[in-house]
Structure formats: structure tokens, C-alpha cells
Amino acid sequence: MKRFLSQAGLAAALLGAFLGCSSTSASGSSGKKITLLKPVNQTVKRGDTNKVAITIVRENIDSDVSVRFDNLPKGVKVIETDKKVKDDEFLVNYTLFAANDAGLVSGQVVKVTAEGPDGLAATESFEVTVKE
């Protein structure tokens, strides 16, 4: 099963590269490597939610990966604060929620970081727009 998921993750990474998506990788000892594909830019209305897909490809890592979002617009939060990308997953959706009084912004740069074992961390950025 893990072999299939690893191949599926590799396929997702190759598809992302083919479509022009950027990615960031971090390598460590014993051939460990974590790659984070750049999430798609998001637009969310005040009082509404939006899903952001996080895609992670692992090499020689059999543990969960933590995901952290930084520099979200004022009044926007991630619903699943403790959700991790399990060792048998490569794509997980996180939910952005914009409060009714969230700041109206266009293209604010948000950073997402995937943190694996042994201090491995890969960071990508995407834009968030909040509309009325």
C-alpha cells in the first residue's frame, strides 16, 4: 500500500511540475526528503470558507508531517489547527475561514510550511484574497 501511495505522490509531483507548479524541497540524512508543492491562490468571501489543497511528497520518511500557515490576513484562520498529513497521505485539504469582519485584501502572500522529522521543513507561498 505504501508503495502505491509513494508512486501516487510522485505522480502528483510530476503532474505539478508538468503544469508549471513550483515546489520546495528539503533534504536530510539517510536520503530523507520532503517536497511541498505550491498551493493554488485562494479567494474567500467574508463569513465563508475555502479549501486549500496541500500536496507533500516524501522520500524515506514514514511519519506524519505538520503543516503551518503564516501571515494569514486579519480575521482569516485555518479551521484544522492540529491536522497533520498522515504517513500514508500526500494530499490533504485545509479549510480557510474568513470572519465577517476579516480584512479586505487582494493577493496577500501567505506562507505554508511542511515540517517533517529531523528538522526537515519546506516552505511555499500562495496568495489569499478576501472579498465582501
DSSP 81: T
Q: Residue 129 above 80 pLDDT?
A: yes
Cα 51 from Cα 34, distance rounded (Å): 22
The predicted pLDDT at position 61 comes to: 93
Q: Which three cell numbers stand for residue 88?
A: 500514508
Q: Residue 5 above 90 pLDDT?
A: no
The predicted pLDDT at position 21 comes to: 73
The predicted pLDDT at position 19 comes to: 47
Maximum separation of any 2 CA atoms in the chain, in Å: 49
Cα 27 from Cα 122, distance rounded (Å): 9
Q: Which three cell numbers stand for residue 46?
A: 467574508
pTM attached to this predicted model: 0.84
**Beta 42-45 vs 121-131: how paired, if at all?**
parallel
